[in-house]
């Protein structure tokens, strides 16, 4: 079912234009904010450039990830310059999408908000945005580029609506584990306050002791300020914090207890796993298990990038991540790809400014 309506929204400086999709009946009227960055003119001779939808992770929205510029360059801008029609959205409860009513209440005793499964779940939200993108483009399929917990929602959407999905890039995916004595996912409460310090600690915890920082202090300071601003109530708490829906954390606990919200065996799209060598949330064992489970995917790839953590898209290794993702999304590693690269070099497209 396509969205019922959308409206233009004012955008902060440098952000991609966006619309607010009205929620399906099952979403209770919650709106989803969708960004769009068209392919840079001249980067492709295709009438309809290939499309990609970015699916964000558990604690910050698309505007603070794929659309966030460092020194004027965002991942969305890089993808558009490579010839991709770039879309992204914020899950309900995040960024510029509608907040759940329970995010204004005491979270105790309320089921975690924003879980993947269910009629109004994150997986269904991905499907809704996919349908919007396909409709806006007049048909075709859309690739999914998902990060962390977002790979669970993207995986569920890809198994439910394979007709809408072209390729999958799972960046730092959360995968099935068999860990005992983890907390009950249903006991996390509706939401939890997340501070700048908690985010910073999480961002740097996997960097080996004594290794130079891979996260620029200058970048993090501006990023943290803009992240806090995504929650209009952040300054009402001490220390300031963002109300993060607990559904993603509940999904991660469930996956690590042997019960992920989707079955990788059902995925039928070419899939690339890409991760950093220091990522403790997506280890070699995790990636291998997911790779083996993707046994119906016609093409599988597992790429490990040196010097990166779970948040590599904010780190010094981000350009290696960009290149791996766009190569797979553009299918320039398949027969005929050399002709494509030659045409781009001849046109000077590789040097296209962002």
- At 353 the pLDDT is 31
Structure confidence at residue 337 as a pLDDT band (50, 70, 90): low
Whether residue 68 contacts residue 230, with contact meaning beta carbons closer than 8 Å, is answered with: no
- At 148 the pLDDT is 98
List the single range of 3-12, 58-67, 264-273, 319-328 with lowest mean pLDDT: 3-12
DSSP string, 113-167: TT-SSSTTSHHHHHHHHHHHHHHHHTS--EEEEEETTHHHHHHHHHHH-GGGEEE
The length of the chain is 354
Residue 4, pLDDT > 60, answer: no
Whether residue 125 contacts residue 118, with contact meaning beta carbons closer than 8 Å, is answered with: no
Query: CA-CA distance, 182 to 174, in Å (whole number)?
Result: 16
Phi/psi for 314 (5° steps) reads -110, 5
Cis peptide bond upstream of 123, omega within 30? no
- At 98 the pLDDT is 95
Using CA atoms in the order 112, 263, 274, 36, what is the torsion angle rounded to 10 degrees?
-60
Percent of the chain with pLDDT over 70: 87
Query: CA-CA distance, 329 to 114, in Å (whole number)?
Result: 28
Residue 28, pLDDT > 90, answer: no
DSSP state of 23: P
Q: Which residues of 153-184 are buried (b: 16+ CB within 10 A; e: fewer)?
A: bbbbbbbbbeebbbbbbbbbbbbbbeeeeeee
- At 336 the pLDDT is 59
Residue pLDDT, tens place only, 157-173: 999 999 999 999 999 99
What are the tokens at 300? 């599988």
Quick one: which of 217, 249, 214, 260 has its CA closest to 117?
260
Whether residue 34 contacts residue 129, with contact meaning beta carbons closer than 8 Å, is answered with: yes
Whether residue 170 contacts residue 290, with contact meaning beta carbons closer than 8 Å, is answered with: yes
What average pLDDT does the segment 24-30 reach?
Answer: 67
Strand-strand pairing, 85-89 and 32-37: antiparallel
Going from the N-terminus, what domains does the chain have, and what CATH number goes with each?
A: 6-191+246-342 (3.40.50.1820)
The average confidence (pLDDT) of the chain is: 89
Residue pLDDT, tens place only, 90-111: 999 999 999 999 999 999 999 9
- At 10 the pLDDT is 38
Instruction: Name the 3-class secondary structure at 274.
Output: strand
What H or E segment, with its residue span, contains residue 223? helix 217-228
Residue 44, pLDDT > 80, answer: no
What are the tokens at 118? 């269910």
Q: What is the pTM of this model?
A: 0.91
């Amino acid at each position: 079912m396509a969205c019922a309506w959308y409206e233009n929204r004012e955008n902060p400086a440098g952000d991609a234009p966006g619309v607010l999709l009205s929620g399906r009946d099952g979403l209770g009227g919650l709106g989803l904010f969708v960004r769009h960055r068209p392919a840079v003119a001249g980067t492709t001779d295709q009438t309809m450039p290939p499309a990609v939808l970015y699916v964000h992770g558990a604690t910050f929205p698309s505007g603070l990830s794929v659309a966030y510029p460092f020194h004027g360059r965002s991942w969305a801008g890089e993808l558009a310059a490579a010839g991709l029609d770039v879309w992204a959205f914020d899950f309900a409860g995040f960024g510029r999408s509608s907040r759940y009513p329970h995010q204004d209440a005491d979270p105790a005793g309320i089921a975690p908000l924003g879980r993947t499964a269910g009629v109004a779940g994150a997986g269904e939200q991905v499907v809704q945005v996919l349908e919007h993108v396909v409709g806006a483009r007049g048909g075709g399929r859309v690739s999914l580029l998902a990060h962390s917990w977002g790979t669970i929602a993207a995986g569920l959407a890809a198994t439910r609506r394979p007709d809408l999905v072209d390729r999958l890039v799972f960046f730092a995916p959360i995968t099935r584990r068999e860990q005992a004595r983890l907390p009950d996912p249903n006991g996390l409460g509706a939401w939890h306050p997340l501070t700048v310090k908690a985010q910073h600690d999480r961002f740097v915890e996997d960097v080996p002791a004594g290794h130079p920082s891979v996260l620029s202090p200058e970048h993090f300071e501006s990023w943290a300020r803009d992240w806090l601003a995504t929650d209009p109530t952040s300054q009402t708490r001490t220390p300031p914090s963002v109300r993060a829906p607990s559904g993603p954390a509940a999904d991660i606990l469930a996956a690590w207890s042997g019960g992920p919200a989707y079955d990788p065996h059902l995925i039928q799209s070419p899939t690339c796993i890409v991760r950093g060598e220091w990522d403790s949330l997506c280890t070699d064992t995790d990636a291998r298990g997911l790779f083996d489970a993707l046994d119906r995917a016609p093409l599988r790839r597992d790429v490990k990038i040196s010097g990166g953590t779970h948040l590599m898209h904010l780190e010094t290794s981000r350009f290696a991540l960009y290149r791996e993702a766009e190569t797979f999304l553009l299918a320039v590693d398949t027969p005929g790809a050399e002709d494509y690269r030659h045409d781009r070099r001849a046109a000077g497209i590789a040097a296209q400014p962002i």
